[in-house]
Structure 1
Amino acid sequence: MVSLQKTVTFGLTRILSDLHYGDPTSRVQSLPSLRPLFEGADRIVFNGDSVETRPGPPLGWRNELRARFLDFVQREVPRAVLVTGNHDADLADTHHVDLLAGVVFVTHGEIFFEDLVPWGPQPRIRDLFARELAGLSAGARHSLEGRMAAGKRACAKLELFYDPLDRGFAAKVKRAHHTIWPPWKPLAMMRAWWELPGRAVEFAARHRPNARFIISGHTHLPGVWRRRGVVVINNGTFCRPFVSYATDVSPGGIVVRRVVRHGDNFILGRVVAAFALAPTGDAAGAAVIVPSTSPIP
């Protein structure tokens, strides 16, 4: 069984997000292509939406995909930590990770939004989430673990709307239409891009007030922002047309790098941002290496 540690306090932890293995738009068509990304890390955190596990056709393929991913992680990934997302909400029971004694808070990110997936089937997901929360005690409803678990149970009930094995032209048109229609969907996506940093900081202020760094995924737009003294990092996604970051966390600091394709494999590319850590855990002398791709207003 893969490690499901929730707190990691030493060594170098590398965080990857939104592989979406099994999705037609994912660049990860072969799991071994990820191997170079594991080099030099003491542990790897897969920060949600690693593999498609949502209910829907075809069941046999989905179960095989899940088993293939878990087997790969078990055999090849050093001290892996699987954090659930909204596409793989039932993959593990770890919904967040605290690094460096709580200085760094890692979670997929759907919990930052009241409707979890603002660009998705909003009435249905809101209703599912509300029902899950209603079944909790008042204390659990407002706790980090309680809200996250309720959100994951709601996400696990959302069905796939397409057959991921159908890669034909008509299927591509259907998926594209589903993404952009009705028109409020792309608008909701852009609003989520804009709101994520602030929402992440607000959420952490309630549940992880000592966190100085928040690392997420979910919205697929990579970036690094500073809000109210907290640095928010979104690792993006391996899905087209977006790009992906890998974030390294160690006692000496935090480094965000672009993930690039090299032949058949994925490797670490240029540094996007780097932060030194003071003994208190605050960002000391934070150096944004490439401001144009790492906006920190």
Structure 2
Amino acid sequence: MIQELDLAPGERARFISDIHFGHAKALAREPEELGFLLEGCSHLVVCGDLSETRESPCREEGLEKRARFLRMCRDAGVQPVLLAGNHDPDEKAGLLKLQGGRICALHGHALFREVAPWGWEYLKNKQVSRELIAAFPEAEADLLRRLELARAMSVLVPPVYTRSGTHQNKLVRFLAHSAWPPERPVRILLAWLTMMRRMGKFADRFFPEAEVVIFGHLHRRAVSGKKGRRLYVNLGACFRHARCWAADVTPERGVSIRSYTPGGYDGPEEILR
């Protein structure tokens, strides 16, 4: 559940998240579109949700594209590190500790005991979700149990990708997807507004030695952390209505980010530390 990695001098780890191969709203339709991300790094860390691998109509496509992407990594001489997200809970590792734990990476769904409290899977199945949470009382203080809860919650009920009764009007479809029930947009907004504070408390509890925390899950890229304090980087998502960063980390714990799309990098590198 917890993987460790130490970079040697001259190596570079690149972090990405939430590619969602196989999902209808993924921006990268083919793995080859992201080949440029394999240039200039020795390791590629995917902070969860690389592919849709849960039991769903998307699974076959997600598995095939994940396998193809891993072949691309091998052919490029890049070591892939795949962390589990709520859309690919079959990945073994839920947390990566880099350079002795000074840098920690995870998907971010373990922040919430419900995994995605704004998701239809939870909103339509609150009682069974609460029963599962109650079966993991140790998850409040035990990191391994918290990661186990996140994995169990991710496969508790079948994934919901679209609402039934899809309307032809685009506005109606958007409102049905994003704004119904009304609790859904409220929970999304609350998660965005509190994600850095929530991650700070999570890190203090489970990996206080971390100087840098890199995560995804919320599909909203952001950076937080003043000089001399812990740095938090949410990588966003390569997904419709979202934007994404690739973050590079060196053995000296230097951290930089760069915006990208399936067409390539679309902004200059920004040095964070």
Q: Which residue of 1 aligns with 2:66?
A: 69
Once the two structures are superposed, residues 21-71 of structure 1 have per-residue CA deviations (whole angstroms, 9 ceiling, x without a partner) of: 122221110100111111111110111111112333x3xx52243133124
Q: Unaligned 5+ residue runs, structure 2? A: none
**Count of residue pairs brought into register by the alignment:** 262
- Between the aligned partners of 2:99 and 2:171, the Cα distance in structure 1 is 43
Q: Which residue of 1 aligns with 2:214?
A: 215
Percent identity over paired residues:
26
Q: Which residue of 2 aligns with 1:35?
A: 35
- Between the aligned partners of 2:143 and 2:224, the Cα distance in structure 1 is 23
- Between the aligned partners of 1:267 and 1:213, the Cα distance in structure 2 is 23
Q: Unaligned 5+ residue runs, structure 1? A: 276-297
SS in 2 for 1:201: helix
TM-score normalised according to structure 1 size: 0.78
Q: RMSD of the alignment, in Å?
A: 2.8
SS in 1 for 2:87: coil
Describe the shift of the 1:40–1:47 C-alpha distance in structure 2 as closer, same or farther (beyond 3 A): same
1:258–1:272 Cα contact (<8 Å) kept: no
Give the C-alpha shift of residue 179 in structure 1.
2.1
Do structure 1's residue 88 and structure 2's residue 72 form an aligned pair? Answer: no
Once the two structures are superposed, residues 161-216 of structure 1 have per-residue CA deviations (whole angstroms, 9 ceiling, x without a partner) of: 2469xx99579964651222122211211110111101111011111010011111
Describe the shift of the 1:44–1:123 C-alpha distance in structure 2 as closer, same or farther (beyond 3 A): same
1:14–1:41 Cα contact (<8 Å) kept: yes
Do structure 1's residue 101 and structure 2's residue 100 form an aligned pair? Answer: yes
- Deviation larger for 151-160 or 198-207: 151-160
Q: Which residue of 2 aligns with 1:293?
A: none
Q: Which residue of 1 aligns with 2:4?
A: 7
Describe the shift of the 1:187–1:141 C-alpha distance in structure 2 as closer, same or farther (beyond 3 A): closer
- Between the aligned partners of 2:38 and 2:157, the Cα distance in structure 1 is 31
2:138–2:146 Cα contact (<8 Å) kept: no
- Between the aligned partners of 1:123 and 1:169, the Cα distance in structure 2 is 25
Residue identity matched to 1:198: R
- Deviation larger for 74-83 or 189-198: 74-83
1:246–1:259 Cα contact (<8 Å) kept: yes
Residue identity matched to 1:9: D
Q: Which residue of 2 aligns with 1:270?
A: 268
1:8–1:100 Cα contact (<8 Å) kept: yes
Describe the shift of the 1:69–1:141 C-alpha distance in structure 2 as closer, same or farther (beyond 3 A): same
Residue identity matched to 1:203: F
SS in 2 for 1:185: helix
Residue identity matched to 2:259: R
Describe the shift of the 1:267–1:123 C-alpha distance in structure 2 as closer, same or farther (beyond 3 A): closer
2:221–2:234 Cα contact (<8 Å) kept: yes
Give the C-alpha shift of residue 125 in structure 1.
6.1
Q: Which residue of 2 aligns with 1:288?
A: none
2:236–2:244 Cα contact (<8 Å) kept: yes
- Between the aligned partners of 1:70 and 1:131, the Cα distance in structure 2 is 35
Question: Where in structure 2 are the equivalents of 1:137-156 lying within 5 Å?
Answer: 142-156=141-155
Describe the shift of the 1:171–1:153 C-alpha distance in structure 2 as closer, same or farther (beyond 3 A): farther
Describe the shift of the 1:7–1:171 C-alpha distance in structure 2 as closer, same or farther (beyond 3 A): farther
Residue identity matched to 1:221: R
Give the C-alpha shift of residue 229 in structure 1.
2.5
SS in 2 for 1:101: coil
SS in 2 for 1:80: strand
Q: Which residue of 2 aligns with 1:280?
A: none
Describe the shift of the 1:15–1:177 C-alpha distance in structure 2 as closer, same or farther (beyond 3 A): same
- Between the aligned partners of 2:159 and 2:196, the Cα distance in structure 1 is 28
Structure (1/2) with the larger strand percentage? 1
Residue identity matched to 1:76: C
SS in 2 for 1:114: coil
- Deviation larger for 239-248 or 68-77: 68-77
